[in-house]
Amino acid sequence: MNEEDPTLVEQSAEVAANMQEVLETSQKIWTTFLEAQAEDARPRAADPLNTMPAWLALSRAIADNPQQVADATLAFWDAQSRLWQASTLKWLGAKDTPMPESPHKSAPGKRFQHKDWSENALFDYLKESYLLASGFINHTVHTVGDMDPRERKKAEFYTRNFVEALNPANFFALNPEVLNATAEQRGANLVRGLKMMLSDLERGKGQLLIRQTDMDAFEVGRDMAISPGAVIYQNDILQLIQYAPTTEKVHAKPILFIPPWINKFYVLDLNEKKSMVKWLVAQGYTVFMISWINPDEKQKDETWDSYMTKGALEAIDAALAETGQKSLHLASYCIGGTLTGTLMAYLGKKKDKRVASATFFTAQLDFVDAGELQVFVDDETIKAVDEEMEKGYLPAQKMAHAFNMLRSNDLIWSYVVNNYLLGKDPFPFDLLYWNADSTAMPAHVHHFYLENFYTRNAFATGKLSVLDTTITLGDIRGPVYHVATKEDHIAPAESVYRGAQMMTGADVRYVLSGSGHIAGVVNPPAAGKYQYWTNPDLGPATLADWTDAAEETQGSWWPDWDRWLSERSGRMVAARVPGKVSGIIEPAPGSYVKVRFDQR
């Protein structure tokens, strides 16, 4: 009798032990999920995202255009037939056989970088077949028949998410990298991955909260949000930070930032190299920053009006009192810019001169075509969102999940594979930490935003009322610097351009930056990245026409903004020590920004 190889016996025992642990951890995951569902016994809408009208419209478009669908289907199966022939040759040893192309074939992207997706005939076939099928499905939904543009956009969005979920790289048995890792590690990767999944499920209180980075690798105030300064004012919705000067003289007029409350302000003070705050201070500006509270039940009665009064207006008055100035500059980002737009229109109508100029970063004011987030918003989905806000606020993970769905391949499925199947810890990355440091939203504020901007487009159509005053974009007065980014999927540049055109009472400088919603804004000059376009004429009907006549400049738009601001900032005065007039409550970045919803 041959004796068993002790190494094989040891490896078999290790595999068995790991599979037993996989089974036990899987049971804990299932139990944790079921217990969370049992605790949350609220009735659920059958179709909370209101997708059924879009699917019905798509079904009608397909039924009404059989020839178009038939032609596309024949072309698809022709490409699949040619793929099968090429794959057969590759299986028989013709390794250099090219895979067939198709005009609508999806690009492989980063999900298929492992060498076996190209070198192994089986996995190469799986990849190529998926790329052909996903391209055919997405193209058909995009082109078939006539559909209402909003219904088609919704159908396209959810189809894309469905197709991305079916990517073979997402499945254990179809991913060569996962299979290799499992064989080499004898299943230890699955043990680590499922333990990570259990931890993420517990962190999300029964909902899977996929970590995109090491959430313990960074600390706000230590690794990010590190510009020195002090909190000089606070109330129950904000802290106001004044940053310490780094120059002997500063411009007389200060700058107050109104960041979004949909995420945290420190994307503008991410680290030494990327900090807009640090750069502005170095240019001789006195910089103030609103740090919004991460709300809970205590903010259940806050409204859009109170965010204007207790938020922006109180912060303006505190900054002016601290500096002794009669007016200041506002700088705003994303939804903070939408709030600033309504504030500027209100002040313009009241002939209030406290704001010398307003700057908008990727801020939408006209919502007729408001980017991919629009697929989540209509009358029915707002009802479903209201049900989620029964405690007076929208839980942070709800909004985080919506943003992740906008780029599910990059922000969901790549981490499912990396974390749960390969068992790898996500790489520490400051921007992804910020992205995951999510915030809740007060119910009334969020409902007002969705209903009045996304569904009614009330500001652009002159039907918006704030502080008992009807306002329009034409009520905005004074100089405006308006930045859009070319690849923005949240605040599309075309939409931002239309809003800028509607500011008929303001002197608007519209600037189009390269890159997207974050990188196009947080682009320090020292990085030497991207470019921006300027054109003083807002007359062209479309952004494309405006861009054709625009001047392109390489690098960051920040120096252009500095030149624009400095001309409107008065004389140079002695640098200001934070809190000299108002006193200091605590050092920057303050305590409000450090509240993490997953640690409550």
Model confidence pLDDT, tens digit, residues 78-109 = 999 999 999 999 888 887 888 888 888 999 88
Q: What torsion do the CA atoms of 205, 208, 213, 218 make, to the nearest 10 degrees?
A: -10
Q: Cβ distance 159 to 62 under 8 Å? A: no
288 sits in which H/E element: strand 287-292
The CA distance from 195 to 381, in Å, is: 34
Residue 511 φ then ψ, to 5°: -125, 130
Q: What is the mean pLDDT of residues 332-336?
A: 97
Q: Cβ distance 209 to 598 under 8 Å? A: yes
Model confidence pLDDT, tens digit, residues 466-521 = 999 999 999 999 999 999 999 999 999 999 999 999 999 999 999 999 999 999 99
Report which of 249, 354, 243 is spatially closest to residue 571, judged by C-alpha positions.
Answer: 249
Q: Does position 18 have pLDDT exceeding 70, yes or no?
A: yes
pLDDT averaged over every residue in the chain: 93
Question: What pLDDT score does 103 carry?
Answer: 87
Q: Cβ distance 497 to 543 under 8 Å? A: yes
The CA distance from 224 to 305, in Å, is: 31
Radius of gyration of the chain (CA): 27
Q: Is the peptide bond before 589 cis (omega within 30 degrees of 0)?
A: yes
Model confidence pLDDT, tens digit, residues 412-433 = 999 999 999 999 999 999 999 9
Q: Enter the tokens of residue 324.
A: 């002794």
The CA distance from 328 to 250, in Å, is: 13
CB atoms closer than 10 angstroms to residue 39: 9
Residue 1: pLDDT band (50, 70, 90) is: very low
Q: Residue 93 contacts by C-beta under 8 Å, 6 or more apart in sequence?
A: none
Does residue 572 have an active-site annotation?
Answer: no
Model confidence pLDDT, tens digit, residues 59-83 = 999 999 999 999 999 999 999 999 9
- What is the dihedral sign for C-alpha 570, 233, 331, 454? negative
Measured distance between the N- and C-terminal CA atoms of the chain, rounded to whole angstroms: 63
The string of DSSP codes covering 243-276 is EPPSSSEEESS-EEEE--SSS-GGGGGSSTTT-H
Model confidence pLDDT, tens digit, residues 177-206 = 999 999 999 999 999 999 999 999 998 888
Report which of 37, 32, 121, 47 is spatially closest to residue 84, judged by C-alpha positions.
Answer: 121
Question: What pLDDT score does 387 carry?
Answer: 84
Model confidence pLDDT, tens digit, residues 349-365 = 999 999 999 999 999 99
96: exposed, middle or buried (C-beta count within 10 Å: 0-12, 13-18, 19+)? Answer: exposed
In a 13 Å sphere around the CA of 23, the CA atoms on its Cβ side amount to: 6
Residue 440 DSSP SS3: coil
Model confidence pLDDT, tens digit, residues 40-64 = 766 666 787 889 999 999 999 999 9
Q: Residue 64 contacts by C-beta under 8 Å, 6 or more apart in sequence?
A: 145
Model confidence pLDDT, tens digit, residues 155-178 = 999 999 999 999 999 999 999 999
The string of DSSP codes covering 360-379 is EES--S--TT--GGGGG-SH
Percent of the chain's residues with pLDDT above 90: 80
The CA distance from 481 to 491, in Å, is: 16
Residue 260: pLDDT band (50, 70, 90) is: very high
Q: Cβ distance 549 to 521 under 8 Å? A: no
Report which of 408, 424, 421 is spatially closest to residue 172, judged by C-alpha positions.
Answer: 421
What structural domains and CATH numbers belong to the chain? Answer: 14-203 (no CATH), 229-395+440-599 (3.40.50.1820)
Question: What pLDDT score does 371 carry?
Answer: 80
Question: What pLDDT score does 3 carry?
Answer: 59
Q: What is the mean pLDDT of residues 16-44?
A: 87
Residue 506 φ then ψ, to 5°: -115, 160
Q: Does position 544 have pLDDT exceeding 70, yes or no?
A: yes
The string of DSSP codes covering 553-583 is EES-SHHHHHHHHHTTS-SEEEPPPTTTTT-
CA-to-CA separations, 475 to 142, 308, 465, 469, in angstroms, rounded: 38, 16, 12, 11
Question: What pLDDT score does 600 carry?
Answer: 65
Question: What pLDDT score does 94 carry?
Answer: 83
Supply the DSSP symbol for 105: P
Q: Does position 374 have pLDDT exceeding 90, yes or no?
A: no
Q: What is the mean pLDDT of residues 121-145?
A: 95
Residue 314: pLDDT band (50, 70, 90) is: very high
Q: Cβ distance 203 to 31 under 8 Å? A: no
The CA distance from 350 to 170, in Å, is: 56
Pair type for strands 586-587 and 229-234: antiparallel
Q: Does position 560 have pLDDT exceeding 90, yes or no?
A: yes
Report which of 509, 473, 510 is spatially closest to residue 494, judged by C-alpha positions.
Answer: 510
Residue 313 DSSP SS3: helix
CA-to-CA separations, 184 to 118, 197, 291, in angstroms, rounded: 21, 21, 48
Q: What is the mean pLDDT of residues 219-235?
A: 96
Q: What is the mean pLDDT of residues 374-385?
A: 86
Beta-ladder partners of 553: 532
Beta-ladder partners of 481: 359, 509
Catalytic residue among 178, 240, 334, 355: 334
